[in-house]
A and B are shown apart, each in its own frame.
Chain A
Amino acid sequence: MMRGLALLVVLGMLAGPQFARAEATKSSPEKDFKAFRDYFTHKFPKVPLKDFVNGPYSMDEGLRKQWIEKETFPPYDFALDHGKELFNKPFKNGKTFADCFPHKGIGIRQNYPYFDEKKGEVITLEVAVNQCLEKNGEKPYNYMKDDMAAVTAYMAFTSRGKPFNIKVPKNSPKALEAYEKGKQYFYQRRGQFNFSCASCHVQEPGEHIRAEVLAPALGILNAMPIYRSAWGGMGTISRRFTSCNSQVRGVPLKPQDPEYRNVEYYLSYMANGLPISGPGSRP
């Protein structure tokens, strides 16, 4: 009987990783959400839930003090003013961005990205901005910075405090597929340094990599777009994703590649309920 029991234990151990792997891939957005939330709130029990959107400033007291002082004259202010101008400036055909978005584009950032069932793809705020420009005969913006960062900074600002409200409809297998692909991208290692997004933002938030304090993955997109001191300027989610890839010696995909949109979809869903804090500033 003891031998049988030992055999069962060994078989169980051998089946363990595969079973866990099958479990992980068969999970649901709702289960993932709970597990993700529990992980970070247990890892950092002293951080108020809403404070996770402040990234490294929720992890490091010294950085936080510097950030609070900087917010007196935020470095994204110029981009915000420029973004408001661009947002309200009529296109050549007389229309403005307000004509492209629900609620005239004000206070809607928290609903992006969403899954477009007709197109079968994730639509991010940046993609929606460029779709608006192209629809009205204007040249699309560069996804990484400058005017795109300015306009989305303004749109984020009009949503400050509103909780992320990302949907993965249960009756949409394609939306679920995009979500799952985003999850895979987030956890799969790449680049010569063999890092995944999770390597830094799940396993080591609050720790240092070079001189940077790593932000937790929970709420990591809520402050976007950001003024980053390391860049000396504004940057969008595209800029951050592509630079993260380069930093692990992986050749970046094109900005707003479907894979990047999927990972934004996944991370934004994980931040549901947490307030939009953008535009933000980061070291």
Chain B
Amino acid sequence: MRIMTSIVAGAAVLMALTSAHAAETADTFKAAYEKAEAANKKAGDLRNQWTTTDKALKAAKKAADEGNFDLATKEAKHAEALANASIAQTEREVKLWPDAVIR
């Protein structure tokens, strides 16, 4: 009984993961990409965009153009994370730079 419960539970987890993995569509990609672009734009307004954010956005676009929305969404989310990190960096470093000044 316990073994059967474990097998059923395992199968349910596997199905959930598989169905989540296959759920990325053009729409979910578009939403993720727009969020990433918005974050990167904010980083640009702060004048501290990262080259790796650009690369991730381009990779996302390329994957989407090829119809691979799983990869496209993954790259878009990666781009958003990088953009957010660059924003956090600016907000932090704009306060910390005086500590480095030779005096």
Given the known A-B contacts A17-B99, A20-B103, are A250 and B49 also in contact in the complex, defined by CB atoms under 8 Å? yes
B47 within 8 A of partner (CB): yes
**Cross-chain contact B100 with A250 (CB below 8 angstroms):** no
**Cross-chain contact A36 with B94 (CB below 8 angstroms):** no
**Cross-chain contact B48 with A190 (CB below 8 angstroms):** yes
How extensive is the interface on chain A, given as a class? 20 to 34
A13 within 8 A of partner (CB): no
Given the known A-B contacts A23-B103, A24-B103, A27-B103, are A191 and B50 also in contact in the complex, defined by CB atoms under 8 Å? yes
**Cross-chain contact A183 with B101 (CB below 8 angstroms):** yes
How extensive is the interface on chain B, given as a class? 20 to 34
Query: How many Å lie between the Cα of A189 and that of B92 in the bound state?
Result: 9
Query: In the complex, which residues of chain A have a beta carbon less than 8 angstroms from the beta carbon of B60?
Result: none
**Cross-chain contact A35 with B50 (CB below 8 angstroms):** no
Within 8 A of A (CB), among B48-103: 48-52, 54, 82, 85-86, 89-90, 93-94, 96-103
What is the minimal beta-carbon distance from A195 to any residue of chain B, in angstroms?
Answer: 11
Query: In the complex, which residues of chain B have a beta carbon less than 8 angstroms from the beta carbon of A249?
Result: 50-52
Within 8 A of B (CB), among A9-52: 17, 20-25, 27, 31-32, 35-36, 39
What is the minimal beta-carbon distance from B41 to any residue of chain A, in angstroms?
Answer: 12
**Cross-chain contact B98 with A250 (CB below 8 angstroms):** no
* Consensus secondary structure, chain B interface: helix
**Cross-chain contact A250 with B94 (CB below 8 angstroms):** no
A184 contacts which of B48, B89, B97 (Cβ < 8 Å)? B97
Nearest first, the 3 A-B pairs at minimum CB distance are A24-B98, A251-B49, A188-B97
- Identify the interface centre among A184, A187, A194: most chain B CB within 10 Å of its CB: A187
A187 contacts which of B50, B85, B86, B97 (Cβ < 8 Å)? B97
Query: How many Å lie between the Cα of A171 and that of B58 in the bound state?
Result: 49
What is the minimal beta-carbon distance from A204 to any residue of chain B, in angstroms?
Answer: 13
A8 within 8 A of partner (CB): no
Given the known A-B contacts A251-B50, A251-B51, are A190 and B100 also in contact in the complex, defined by CB atoms under 8 Å? no
B98 contacts which of A25, A190, A253 (Cβ < 8 Å)? A25
A100 within 8 A of partner (CB): no
- Identify the interface centre among B52, B90, B94, B102: most chain A CB within 10 Å of its CB: B102
